[in-house]
Structure 1
Amino acid sequence: MSTQSGPGRDQLDPILNAVVRERHRLINLAYRLLGSLADAEDVVQETYARWYAMSTQRQQAIESPGAWLTTVASRICLDLLGSARARRERYVGEWIPEPLPEPTEWINTRSDGITTDPADRVTLDESVNMAFLVVLESMTPAERVAFILHDVFRYPFAEIAEIVGRTPAACRQLASSARRRIRASQAPATPTARRAAIVRDFKQAWEAKDIEALIGLLDPDVTAIGDGGGLVNAELRPIEGSERVARVLVDVAGRAPGLTILERTVNGQPGLVVQAAGVSLTVIAFDIADDRITRVWSVRNPEKLRPWTID
């Protein structure tokens, strides 16, 4: 963003520059808090709208524009998280966080013809892998905000307390509770190269419709969850057990010939994208422990596949 020079503009330009530079961090924060890029974009837009609605004098009086923007965005997210549970109770089928591609694989043109701003690309790390985001969904809004702000973005509890309306000690307890949930859900880490090899074997077995090979790659207690948002055909409830999951996968492959399965990075980890005629229909993320696939998350809701699709 540029501004014309003139009386008073030299003082304002550094503030504007500081505000604009915060966009990438705000997108990253809001996505981790909400699990939805679309909602994160809306939050950041509303945050900036509130900033620009202030007079120049009020903007200049704010000591740290970045801290102000973070506080406002976090409070908006906290309000949205409070209503999200009610909204997701009305959601048709299972709700899975929106999957994101590797930045180099990001589709730049959205369906409305608008080029995606590189600032809107979420930095992929361990705090956005699908298993992590799914655990975040089980937390209370205050737990999630306290944990993400402190453990991921390194905000002090004194500042978090002002955002969530609790004492610093209460926020410390919220983050500690969230941390216990994360630890309880985590399996020993599988090296990325090994994860990629398992996903590749899964892809090849699926393409070959080899039920026995699929069963061998799946944990006996594997759970497969699909998110179609009621807009496309998808399993409305989780599928459990390696044999049942394998048979459903083979059935899907048999009913939809001509599908192309691509190895892609999904939320920072090896995953798959299913396409037909170049259009991404499904994005699949995995959780892996002890060389077996323990969770399969399949996102088919078209609204969540915007970064993966060119219309």
Structure 2
Amino acid sequence: MADTPAQARDHAEPSDRGGAGDDPLGQRFEHERSHLIGVGYRLTGSLADAEDAVQEAWLRLAALDAEQRAAVRDLRAWLTTVVGRLCLDRLRSARARRERYVGPWLPEPIVTPLGDHGPPDPLASVVADDGARMAAMVVLDVLPPEQRVAFVLHDAFDVPFSDVAALLGCSTAAARQYASRGRRAVREADPPPRTAPEERRRVLEALLTAMAAGDVSAVARILHPDVVLVGDSDGRARTARRVMSGADTIARLFAGLLTTYRPGAFATARPVLVNGELGVYVPPMPGGDGYRDLDTHVQTVAVRDGRVVAIYDQVNPDKLTRLPELPSP
């Protein structure tokens, strides 16, 4: 499969680089790449699927002849529509895969380091928008494909309903209705909003301190009465196999984990940014002597009223292949 301009440069020998990058069409495409990845991710919840869709969009653009390219008046709009159509196909085919999935399914987390640790991560722009926070992505995942595509493309990326209708193969009125239903479902689900960074940091630091100390009572005080824990493993690592709710229930779960893993296992947890919000990275730790191996965890923490109201615990190794190099605590 042919590479996008950026991938072609990465794979080429130094003496060979510059061909695709010097191509004006390739340069224009690369200028839109982060935007397109953001579109694909918001539509599928998968960075891998988003990148595949962007790759295919480049191939289709590169295959246009001169007359067809000249007919593309707005390159961003054209590429956004192509990526949207490809993601719609992926959403429809994903339903069968989800039926075989073990336990809850969560979007692939986009993890970036917290603080100044070198040049900006290009993925940070993909999740900069409030609609890309994990709590909002979880809600999008329950929408039917047509509602998700219509809602995201129109409300998040300003795609006209006429273009959405052409993509979905329906009337403009039907496209409006799909978006309206998606919008209503998101509003009724009321996902926790992004809180002020200072509040999130305070709550997260309190949670990490309580976890490191193994203080079950302190963990319980930080949890909102309506807190939920959603774990994603596909049966390949250890986390909750069903959605758990209630501060007491989740605190008792944590108490049990303290006897399951080696003492101090959670002391190595450290804060990271997950989909632009504060989260927790728990590195793996071997077991032995009666203790279980601790798998890698990436947890997103949503805050409401000064307490943790949702914990999204990602342990599926297939969704943790793109973790950045994180500094030691």
What TM-score, normalized by structure 2, do the two folds share? Answer: 0.80
Question: How far apart are 1:201 and its partner, in Å?
Answer: 1.0
Contact 1:222/1:293 (<8 A) preserved: yes
- What's the CA shift for 1:102? 3.2
Q: What secondary structure, in the 3-state scheme, does the structure 2 residue paired with 1:263 have?
A: strand
Q: Are the aligned partners of 1:136 and 1:144 in contact in 2 as well (CA < 8 Å)?
A: yes
Structure 1 residue runs of 5 or longer lacking an equivalent are: 109-116
Greater relative contact order (CA < 8 Å, ≥ 6 in sequence): 1
Q: What whole-Å deviation, never above 9, does each CA across 1:70-128 have from its counterpart, x for those lacking one?
A: 211111111111122221111112111111123777999xxxxxxxx947962422111
Q: Deviations over 1:252-300 (max 9, x none)?
A: 24322343110111111111110136x9811101222222222111001
Letter in 1 for 2:277: Q
Q: Which position in structure 2 is the counterpart of 1:27? A: 37
Amino acid at match of 1:22: E
**Alignment TM-score, normalising by the size of structure 1:** 0.85
Tell me how far apart the structure 1 counterparts of residues 258 and 68 of structure 2 sit (CA, whole Å). Answer: 59
**Amino acid across the alignment from 2:300:** A
- Match of 1:190, SS? coil
Map of 1:291-310 to 2, 5 A cutoff? 291-308=306-323
1:148-191 deviation line (CA, Å, top 9, x unaligned): 11111112212221111222222222222222222222257632
Matches within 5 A, 1:223-302: 223-257=228-262, 258-259=264-265, 260-276=268-284, 281-302=296-317
Which letter does structure 2 place at the counterpart of 1:171? A
Q: Deviations over 1:126-155 (max 9, x none)?
A: 111111001101111111111111111112
2:142 maps to which residue?
138
Equivalent residues of 1:262, 1:272 under 8 A apart: yes
Residue 36 of structure 1, aligned match among 27, 42, 46 = 46
Q: Is 1:72 matched with 2:87? A: no
Distance 1:253 1:45, change over 3 A: farther
Matched, 1:93 2:103: yes
1:222, CA displacement in angstroms?
1.9
Q: Tell me which of 208, 211, 214 is aligned to 2:213.
A: 208
Q: How does 1:57-206 map to 2 (within 5 A)?
A: 57-102=67-112, 118=122, 122-186=126-190, 187=192, 190-206=195-211
Decide whether the 8 Å contact of 1:15 with 1:60 is kept in 2. Answer: no
Q: Is the 8 A contact 2:127 2:275 kept in 1?
A: no
Whole-angstrom distance in 1 between the partners of 2:189 and 2:284: 34
Q: Tell me, in whole angstroms, the C-alpha distance in 2 between the residues paired with 1:104 and 1:213.
A: 24
| Residues in 1 aligned to 2:259 and 2:70: alpha-carbon distance in whole angstroms | 63
Q: Secondary structure at the match of 1:298?
A: strand
CA RMSD of aligned residues (A): 2.9
Q: Is the Cα–Cα contact under 8 Å of residues 224 and 245 in structure 1 kept in the other structure?
A: yes
Structure 1 residues 309 and 23, CA gap change in structure 2 (3 angstroms): closer
Partner SS for 1:222: strand
Q: Which residue of 2 aligns with 1:112?
A: none
